[in-house]
Structure 1
């Protein structure tokens, strides 16, 4: 098995929305804002090469939305999925599986693209299965008013219409060893219904792709919960359980949205679980 970081693009979001009730004087210490109160964000995906299987975890925003749409997110940098895949000798057509932590636009938008004559949409990975779970699919296709703007029909329905959509079987608890994917999955409901966090055993370490349970290193303290979360009190419980386990078992946490910190580890302290070490993929892959 090999792991590769796939950078799909950088953007910015309102710092207050990203940290909920936490005052700016506190969160700006780790995530400084610009003069519009926007903080740097990444859409960092992860590629798993395992035998003949090539699995991409999340896809970023993609590029099919309007200029007005992208204007809301202050895109910056020159990353793209195609450039990142090519860096490691791959292309979109090589991808056999796309695992989606959840179906918000910044995680699934790159899964779908315009067709050639721009009359409709098609999957951006023509040879891949697209993996979600039935609870989250139901949640996303019949969205509540709070999340409706994040679940875009054009990002979701073409996966089903193509016949490429697959569902992960859910466990009775919040964790399962997935026979479908070949890695463990932690299910979390605070941010959105049945978000899925992959646990990947690699080089005698456990790497966890954090998606939106821990978007940046600045979100480690328990009360630092995004305003976007649908069930913030549940997020508190899920973070506490996960971070304690991560410190106990020395997990390597892959941060999807932190533009400046790629991988971190955490440790127990008198103040609770806190940051231990910041690593780059080059440190791991060298």
Structure 2
């Protein structure tokens, strides 16, 4: 098995929204804001190469939305999925499977592109099967008022219409060992219904792709929960359970949304779980 970090592009979000009830004077120390109160956000994906499988976890925002839409998110940098794949000698057509942690636009937008004349949509990874779970799919296609702006029809329905949509089997509890794609999954409901956190066994290490359960290293303290989460108290308990196990078993946490910290480990302290070490993806994914 080989793992690759795929940078799909960076953007900015309101720091207050990203940290919920935590005061700016505190979160600004780890995630400094600009003059508009915006903080740097990454869209770092994970590519798994194993045998004849090439599995991409999440797809970033993509590029099919309007300039007005992207204007809300202050895009920065020159990364893209295509450019990042090319650095590792891959092409979008090589992807066999796309695993979507959840269907918010910044995780699934890159899954679907305009067709050539912009009259309809095509899968961005034309040879890939796409994976979500039935409970989250139902949640996304019949969205609540709070999340409706994050579940965009053009990012989701074309996948189903293409015939490439697949559902991961859900366990009785919150942990699935050895899913259909060969890794473990932690199911979390605090951010959105049945978000999936993949945990990959890799060269004697466990690499957890944190998605929105832990957006940045600055979110490690339990009360540091995003204002975007639909059930913040549930996120708090899910983080505690997950980070305790990650600490006890020395998991490596791959941060999708932290623009500056790629992979971290955590440790127990008298104040609870806290940051231990920070690594570049190239230090771990070898």
TM surpasses 0.5:
yes
Match of 1:213 in 2: 213
Matched-pair contact (CA < 8 Å) for 2:205–2:251: yes
Match of 1:73 in 2: 73
Match of 1:283 in 2: 283
Quote how far apart the aligned CAs of 1:282 are: 1.9
Quote how far apart the aligned CAs of 1:40 are: 0.2
Quote how far apart the aligned CAs of 1:283 are: 1.3
Mapped to 2, the partners of 1:186 and 1:281 lie a distance apart of 22
Match of 1:258 in 2: 258
Q: Secondary structure at the match of 1:9?
A: coil
- Tell me, yes or no, if structure 1 residue 113 matches structure 2 residue 113: yes
Normalised to the residue count of structure 2, the TM-score between the two structures is 0.99
What are the residue-to-residue correspondences of 1:1-286 with 2, within 5 Å? 1-285=1-285
Mapped to 1, the partners of 2:224 and 2:121 lie a distance apart of 37
Q: Greater CA deviation, 143-152 or 172-181?
A: 172-181
Matched-pair contact (CA < 8 Å) for 2:168–2:179: no
Mapped to 2, the partners of 1:204 and 1:9 lie a distance apart of 30
Quote how far apart the aligned CAs of 1:179 are: 3.7
What is the number of residues matched between the two proteins? 286
Quote how far apart the aligned CAs of 1:177 are: 1.4
Q: Secondary structure at the match of 2:10?
A: strand
- Structure 2: runs of 5 or more not aligned: none
Mapped to 2, the partners of 1:67 and 1:219 lie a distance apart of 30
Quote how far apart the aligned CAs of 1:252 are: 0.1
Matched-pair contact (CA < 8 Å) for 2:42–2:258: yes
Large movers: runs of 4+ above 4 Å: none
Normalised to the residue count of structure 1, the TM-score between the two structures is 0.99
RMSD: 0.6
